[in-house]
A and B are shown apart, each in its own frame.
Chain A
Amino acid sequence: MEAAAGSKRAYSIIVPTYNERLNVALIVYLIFKHLPDVNFEIIIVDDGSPDGTQDIVKQLQQVYGEDRVLLRARPRKLGLGTAYLHGLKHASGEFVVIMDADLSHHPKYLPSFIRKQKETGADVVTGTRYVKNGGVHGWNLMRKLTSRGANVLAQTLLQPGASDLTGSFRLYKRDVLEDLISSCVSKGYVFQMEMIVRATRKGYHIEEVPITFVDRVFGISKLGGSEIVEYLKGLVYLLLTT
């Protein structure tokens, strides 16, 4: 299939992957299924997965077209923030959606992100698990307790302007995302928190849509003491700098 030269898309969906051979195929199928009439492109930023993720993406390009499924690989694991930046460099869309490849973010919510943005003209639409019609599956009591504790702490101290800080299923206006990424320095999921807090402080218009979150269908969910320490460090950092 031939790529239309210089074609502009309305939406660019950036999906960072590392060893997501099966999931990347499933998510691409589901995105196309749920956005039949939308002018979008999917940008897969693969960090040199040894499991052949990139071979699968090339096969998907045969099915959906190289102009709709873009593979923008990097040689090795280089971190989430730079993955978005890398994807963004190759994105032609006016709006950019960021989602995880592991199917904890279901593409069936994409239409509601797009609708919400159109209705409100928001700069950022963020998926939230903690409202009516949202939810989480696959968390034990300990995981829920940590999550609630972290949330109450952050809401009280930071007043972040969003109910779900560490979720990363979001739609941004392209220039807003560029601005936010360039001012964020954190790593991991503190990065997601920093993005939304800085968006609030900069006065960007943020809207929320409910999403459900099915935790790691093919993996083992992880949350240890070191993550909690990282979170607390991130919280203090944001208190001091935003």
Chain B
Amino acid sequence: MKHIFKIVAILVAISSIWIALLETSTIPRSYTWLLPIYLVVALGCYGLFMVGFGLMFFPTCPQEAILLQQDIVEAKEFLAKKGVDVGSE
């Protein structure tokens, strides 16, 4: 199934619950009208939280840059000895 259909199906399910709530008035209508706004705000909060969380714990590896420089020096030495032209870029 195309993924967009899954998302549309979820949206249709949510809207039908919402319409049902509007029709049956189990909770006051003025509240029900605001529910979609709450949903959008909640989604936005989820997104911001996930991005913020990911940013706070973003895995970094400064030591890897140093190790790579050592590898480069080692590789250049070996290759120069073998006659590979690594002197000029």
Contacting residue for A59 out of B51, B65, B78, B83, CB 8 A: B83
- Look across to chain B and name the residue whose beta carbon is closest to the beta carbon of A149: B51
Which residues of the partner chain B approach A233 to less than 8 Å between Cβ atoms?
none
- Look across to chain B and name the residue whose beta carbon is closest to the beta carbon of A141: B55
Cβ of A226 within 8 Å of any chain B Cβ, yes or no, is no
CA distance A144 to B59 in the complex (A): 10
- Look across to chain A and name the residue whose beta carbon is closest to the beta carbon of B58: A144
CA distance A148 to B64 in the complex (A): 21
Q: How far is the CB of A80 from chain B (nearest CB, A)?
A: 23
Q: How far is the CB of A100 from chain B (nearest CB, A)?
A: 13
Contacting residue for A151 out of B2, B7, B54, B60, CB 8 A: B54
CA distance A63 to B82 in the complex (A): 7
**Are A134 and B65 within 8 A (Cβ)?**
no
CA distance A217 to B58 in the complex (A): 20
Cβ of A214 within 8 Å of any chain B Cβ, yes or no, is yes
**Are A25 and B7 within 8 A (Cβ)?**
no
Cβ of B50 within 8 Å of any chain A Cβ, yes or no, is yes
Q: How far is the CB of B6 from chain A (nearest CB, A)?
A: 9
Which residues of the partner chain B approach A213 to less than 8 Å between Cβ atoms?
61
| Chain A 148-160 interface mask (CB, 8 Å, partner B; 1/0) | 1101110011110
Which residues of the partner chain A approach B54 to less than 8 Å between Cβ atoms?
130, 148, 151-152
- Look across to chain B and name the residue whose beta carbon is closest to the beta carbon of A159: B3
Contacting residue for A241 out of B2, B7, B71, CB 8 A: B2
Contacting residue for B59 out of A132, A145, A151, CB 8 A: A132
Please give the number of chain B residues whose Cβ is less than 8 angstroms from any Cβ of chain A in the complex.
30
Given A137-B65, A138-B65, A159-B3, A131:B59 Cβ within 8 A = yes
Cβ of B23 within 8 Å of any chain A Cβ, yes or no, is no
B-facing residues in A69-103 (Cβ within 8 Å) = 103
Cβ of A188 within 8 Å of any chain B Cβ, yes or no, is no
**Are B84 and A106 within 8 A (Cβ)?**
no
Cβ of A186 within 8 Å of any chain B Cβ, yes or no, is no
**Are B60 and A152 within 8 A (Cβ)?**
no
| Chain B 1-12 interface mask (CB, 8 Å, partner A; 1/0) | 011100100000
**Are A25 and B86 within 8 A (Cβ)?**
yes
**Are A29 and B75 within 8 A (Cβ)?**
yes
Which residues of the partner chain A approach B86 to less than 8 Å between Cβ atoms?
22, 25-26, 56
Given A103-B68, A157-B7, A242-B3, A148:B58 Cβ within 8 A = yes
B51, B65, B76: which has the most chain A beta carbons within 10 Å? B51
Q: How far is the CB of B57 from chain A (nearest CB, A)?
A: 10
Listed by A's residue number, 6 A-B pairs whose Cβ atoms lie within 8 Å are A135-B60, A137-B64, A148-B58, A149-B51, A157-B3, A238-B3
- Residues of A bordering B, CB below 8 Å: 21-22, 25-26, 29-30, 33, 55-56, 59-60, 62-63, 103, 106, 129-132, 134-138, 141, 144-145, 148-149, 151-153, 156-159, 212-214, 217-218, 238-242
